[in-house]
Amino acid sequence: MEKLKILTDAAKYDVSCSSSGHERRGKKGQIGSASKAGICHSWTADGRCISLLKVLYSNRCVYDCEYCINRRSARVERTSFMPEELAELTMEFYRRNYIEGLFLSSAVDGTPDRTGEEMCRTFQILREDRGFLGYIHAKIIPGTSPELVDRIGRLADR
């Protein structure tokens, strides 16, 4: 669970998906909660608001972009998922009705294509092996080959 905490926290800087940014836990006699990292909301083409697991595949990055929390020189704990591990975690959250889909981005761990292949494999496991019909939002890593972008695009909704 520490890996999940690190990679959902690092994903909160991607502004393509909204979340409240506020931590609010339920108290005795109350229902509901708000979490500042991990679950975000997005809108489908038909206008529905859906909950997504917003996470990075990896926060290990070969680049040192000054603006980025995941830059090579940043003093943060580094970790990454394996495709099977992230697919299982997504399925577990989906089965428990915590989420309706996955929002996946990543730092550049090695090369854009290496990172993209790992993300694509996660999507393949979800769609082809697990029969996942939920929403998938894939953030394409800059520099990813056109062929890999096409493969990811066939598995993702956006």
**Domain assignment present for 115:** yes
Tens of pLDDT, residue by residue over 80-120, are: 999 999 999 999 999 999 999 999 999 999 999 999 999 99
Instruction: pLDDT band for 126, please (50, 70, 90 cuts).
Output: very high
d(CA 106, CA 128): 22
Q: Is residue 47 part of a domain?
A: yes
- The domain of 115 spans 2-14+38-155
pLDDT of residue 44: 81
Q: What pLDDT score was predicted for residue 92?
A: 97
In a domain, 21, yes or no: no
So what's the pLDDT on residue 42? Answer: 85
Within a domain: 24: no
Report how far residue 9's alpha carbon sits from residue 18's, in angstroms, rounded to the nearest whole number: 14
pLDDT tens, 10-29? 998 776 654 444 455 556 66
- In this predicted structure, what is the pLDDT of residue 33? 52
Residue 52 has pLDDT above 80, yes or no: yes
Residue 28 covered by a domain: no
Q: What is the pLDDT of residue 15?
A: 65
pLDDT of res. 76? 95
Alpha helices in the chain (DSSP H): 2-11, 83-95, 112-124, 146-155
Q: What is the pTM of this model?
A: 0.85
Q: Does the residue 94 lie in any domain?
A: yes
User: Is residue 30, in this structure, part of any structural domain at all?
Assistant: no
Q: Is the dihedral of CA 28, 26, 134, 58 positive or negative?
A: negative
Mean pLDDT of 35-44: 77
Domain contains 137: yes
Q: Total domain count for the chain?
A: 1
Tracing tokens 């496991």 back to the chain, one arrives at 125
Of 7-21, 44-58, 68-82, 88-102, give the lowest mean pLDDT range: 7-21
